[in-house]
Chain A
Amino acid sequence: MNASGSRGAAAYLGATLALAILAALAFAVGRFPVAVGDLLGAFGAKLFGLAYPLPENVETVIFKVRGPRVLAALLVGAALAAAGTAYQGMFRNPLVSPDLLGVATGAALGAVLGIFLSRDVWTIQAFAFAGGLAAVGLVYWIGSSVPRHDPLLALVLTGIVIGTLLGSGIALLKYLADPYNQLPAITYWLLGSLASINPSDLVAVALLVLAGLAPMLLLRWRMNLLALPDDEARALGVDTKRLRLVVIVAATLMTAAAVAVSGIIGWIGLIVPHAARLLVGPDFGRLLPLAMLLGAAFLLAVDTLCRTIAAIEVPPGVLTAMLGTPFFLWLFAASRKGW
């Protein structure tokens, strides 16, 4: 194995270890005091059927409140990082985030509409998911029906324009919303939070994220060819248009599902892929799993802080940038690897 290979292995090992430690820690801390013995006892009872008398509410906290939230942080972090990695590779541009084609903005508009109409949480999430898919569908449809243009450029530009339009839709609804009642709910949704995750949300999101992840893993070798100019890729026998569509559908599915339950959480989809690239280089097959590990670990760390440092929740968007920026700058300075 060459030097970069061993370095890649070290990165994987480190990320997996960090993730495991963080997950154990995340289960152990929270606003509801749970003794370590009770925590182990609860898991023992759940996994091995051991008899262990638990204090009131502890089981609810571990398996229905804290547990789902830990898993949601892992899932959302991994999904955003994977979608970001796929987009950055496909658009051959390091400044691309999963929201490039409007998925998060569309989801936000859907959720805001749901809150504006005073619907229940489930409907708001469904609106968000549908809004994300619809936004990207619209962008893809317009972008790919523009004749005689570089297809990628057409997509990017359409994405920017439609994203702005959706953004003004959000602004309009905020303006019309009841300032005492709906506006705060809208603001909290747009700030993003994993506070109201429940176990049934988690199953739905997990299925959708897996559905998006499968094609990316299966097509990982071809994904590298998307980084080449279109004619070169085609000369190598890749139907770039179809491949691009598959990637867009997969990334959109993952991101829309994640955003529907978490609200807008920025930074991860944009920066985590870079961190992974600095560690293992640009090969998609090696990059994707590491980006997902890092994204999951990072959001888990952030969310654990969000729910523990004060009685009130800290919005994850605040901490992702505050913690992520120094980490990224350090990585950037310490790395000698090319982009």
Chain B
Amino acid sequence: MGKAATALLFFAAFALLVPPAAAQPARIADGANRQVVVPAKVERVYAAGPPASMLVFAIAPDKLIGWTRAFRPNEAAFVAPKYGALPELGRLTGRGNTANVEVLLAARTDLVVDAGSVAETYVSLADRVQQQTGIPYLLLDGRLDAVPGSLRLLGKALGDEKRGDLLADYFESSLKDIRARIARIPQAERPRVYYGRGPAGMQTGLAGSINVEVLEYLGARNVAAESKGGLAQVSLEQVLAWNPEVILTSDPNFYATVWKDARWQNVAAVRAKRVHLSPHLPFGWFDFPPGANRLLGMHWAGKLLYPKAFPEDLRPRVVEFHRHFYHQEPTAAQLEALLGEPGVLPK
């Protein structure tokens, strides 16, 4: 056998021994059933909006190249300093377009991820950006029920299936637990709820609106659910006619007014002191951004609406969620700031 042949054989054997480390790009069906070819090694990910940022951050924080909006100091305190200091890159597609497509290219992005609606509009926007930049674009379904699936899918795309599955299992079991508790509550024991948005609390989410998905998931009786749609402005007279038993809000201005304004004092919720303000750090708990963050909102609202079915202390829940999704447990002071803010929980 000649030297050359020996060498060739040696190489061939070596090639067989070496596992296929530099794997092939994978073809993944995303949340809108688009076939996306994801490179084998994804290192730099741009998330198109806060819900997507959260999912990418939860699975592979070091791959996230920036936030759509830079963290404010009070928000940054909830994540490790190096993540809190990630740059602001702007949003892409529909939900307020502030990023330049060139930013994606300049940042040497391997993958774009967006989470939220998978309606036709967003599918076509994803296709356009992908075509224009040549960067694969994953569109994930952002509905609460779809979050576990989105986490698994993203874990696969980011090369960390284990982490994706772990988070998905956690999220799924939490949802299951919540559903099981809700199922046992008779309709008559479910209070009628008004969700007030805006500085005067005069905007609300109608049936099917993403803003009240948490309420619908909790099987609550949203007073505004008689009509379908998104956000809508309503009159105070209408709210008085609905006479909700519980009012939830995420607006501190509205929360402060509701106790002072004479016109609200006869509303059942105000009389029963059942008006509550949702925590908002580092991401809001109730409806914005409409991402995985709302899991905490479900535990919180569940406790307010059905105290008997959700008797447990929220603190361990918050700690667990933060550990999973933000990679850092809140300090005692931070927990106090989140849950001890006036109005968050009944006294």
Contact residues of A with B, CB < 8 Å?
30-33, 56-57, 60-61, 64-66, 69, 115, 118-121, 124, 175-176, 178-181, 183-185, 188, 191, 193, 195-196, 198, 307, 310-313, 315
Contact residues in B for A66 (Cβ distance below 8 Å) = 237
Q: Which of A121, A175, A178, A198 has the most CB of B within 10 A?
A: A121
B256 and A60 contacting across the interface, CB-CB below 8 Å: no
B266 and A57 contacting across the interface, CB-CB below 8 Å: yes
Contact residues in A for B233 (Cβ distance below 8 Å) = 188, 191, 193, 195, 312-313, 315
A198 and B288 contacting across the interface, CB-CB below 8 Å: no
Question: Within residues 19 to 36 of chain B, which ones have a CB less than 8 A from any CB in chain A?
Answer: none
B289 and A180 contacting across the interface, CB-CB below 8 Å: yes
A64 CA to B252 CA in the complex, in Å?
23
Question: Within residues 263 to 313 of chain B, which ones have a CB less than 8 A from any CB in chain A?
Answer: 263, 265-266, 284, 287-290
Contact residues in B for A183 (Cβ distance below 8 Å) = 96
Contact residues in A for B227 (Cβ distance below 8 Å) = 310-312
Residue of A whose beta carbon sits closest to that of B200: A196
B261 and A198 contacting across the interface, CB-CB below 8 Å: yes
Contact with A along B187-219 (1 / 0, CB 8 A): 000000000011110110010000000000000
- In the complex, B185 has a CB within 8 A of chain A: no
Residue of B whose beta carbon sits closest to that of A68: B263
A66 CA to B239 CA in the complex, in Å?
12
A178 CA to B256 CA in the complex, in Å?
21
B236 and A195 contacting across the interface, CB-CB below 8 Å: yes
A269 CA to B219 CA in the complex, in Å?
47
A179 and B199 contacting across the interface, CB-CB below 8 Å: no
A64 and B241 contacting across the interface, CB-CB below 8 Å: no
Contact residues in A for B243 (Cβ distance below 8 Å) = 57
- In the complex, B121 has a CB within 8 A of chain A: no
A124-B198 CB under 8 A given contacts A31-B235, A180-B287, A312-B234: no
A311-B226 CB under 8 A given contacts A31-B237, A32-B238, A195-B233: yes
- In the complex, B232 has a CB within 8 A of chain A: yes
A65 and B237 contacting across the interface, CB-CB below 8 Å: yes
Chain B min CB distance to A76 (Å): 16
- In the complex, B98 has a CB within 8 A of chain A: yes
Chain B min CB distance to A117 (Å): 11
Chain A min CB distance to B248 (Å): 15
A124-B199 CB under 8 A given contacts A60-B266, A184-B231, A310-B227: yes
A120-B263 CB under 8 A given contacts A31-B235, A312-B233: no
Closest 4 CB pairs of A and B: A180-B288, A179-B96, A312-B232, A31-B238
Contact residues in B for A60 (Cβ distance below 8 Å) = 240, 262-263, 265-266
- In the complex, B91 has a CB within 8 A of chain A: yes
A313 CA to B231 CA in the complex, in Å?
11
B203 and A188 contacting across the interface, CB-CB below 8 Å: yes
**Can you list 30 pairs linking A and B with CB atoms under 8 Å apart?**
A30-B235, A31-B241, A57-B240, A57-B243, A61-B240, A65-B237, A69-B235, A118-B252, A119-B199, A119-B253, A120-B199, A120-B253, A121-B200, A175-B98, A180-B50, A180-B289, A184-B197, A185-B198, A195-B233, A195-B235, A195-B236, A196-B202, A307-B235, A307-B237, A311-B226, A311-B227, A312-B229, A313-B232, A313-B234, A313-B235
- In the complex, B53 has a CB within 8 A of chain A: no
A118 CA to B296 CA in the complex, in Å?
23
Among B237, B256, B263, B290, point to the contact of A30 (Cβ < 8 A): B237
Chain A min CB distance to B234 (Å): 5
Contact residues in A for B131 (Cβ distance below 8 Å) = none
Chain B min CB distance to A22 (Å): 18
Taking A178-B288, A184-B203 as known contacts, 10 extra A-B pairs with beta carbons closer than 8 A to each other, sorted by chain A number, are: A32-B238, A57-B266, A119-B253, A175-B96, A180-B290, A183-B96, A184-B231, A195-B234, A307-B235, A311-B224
- In the complex, B334 has a CB within 8 A of chain A: no
Contact residues in B for A191 (Cβ distance below 8 Å) = 233
Contact residues in A for B288 (Cβ distance below 8 Å) = 178, 180-181
Residue of A whose beta carbon sits closest to that of B97: A175
- In the complex, B109 has a CB within 8 A of chain A: no
Chain A min CB distance to B245 (Å): 14
A42 CA to B265 CA in the complex, in Å?
19
A198 and B235 contacting across the interface, CB-CB below 8 Å: no
Chain A min CB distance to B258 (Å): 12
B234 and A311 contacting across the interface, CB-CB below 8 Å: yes
Chain A min CB distance to B89 (Å): 14
Chain B min CB distance to A234 (Å): 49
B234 and A179 contacting across the interface, CB-CB below 8 Å: no
Contact residues in A for B229 (Cβ distance below 8 Å) = 312
B241 and A65 contacting across the interface, CB-CB below 8 Å: no
Chain A min CB distance to B121 (Å): 15
A69 CA to B240 CA in the complex, in Å?
15
B237 and A61 contacting across the interface, CB-CB below 8 Å: yes
Contact residues in A for B234 (Cβ distance below 8 Å) = 195, 311-313
A191 CA to B289 CA in the complex, in Å?
24
Contact residues in B for A119 (Cβ distance below 8 Å) = 199, 253
A179 and B91 contacting across the interface, CB-CB below 8 Å: yes
A118 CA to B197 CA in the complex, in Å?
12
B241 and A33 contacting across the interface, CB-CB below 8 Å: yes
A32-B95 CB under 8 A given contacts A56-B266, A124-B199: no
Chain A min CB distance to B11 (Å): 56
Residue of A whose beta carbon sits closest to that of B201: A196
- In the complex, B250 has a CB within 8 A of chain A: yes
A310 CA to B206 CA in the complex, in Å?
13
Contact residues in B for A196 (Cβ distance below 8 Å) = 200, 202, 236
Residue of B whose beta carbon sits closest to that of A176: B98
B236 and A65 contacting across the interface, CB-CB below 8 Å: yes
Chain B min CB distance to A182 (Å): 9
- In the complex, B257 has a CB within 8 A of chain A: yes
Q: Which of A120, A176, A310 has the most CB of B within 10 A?
A: A120
Chain A min CB distance to B143 (Å): 15
A115-B199 CB under 8 A given contacts A198-B263, A312-B227: yes
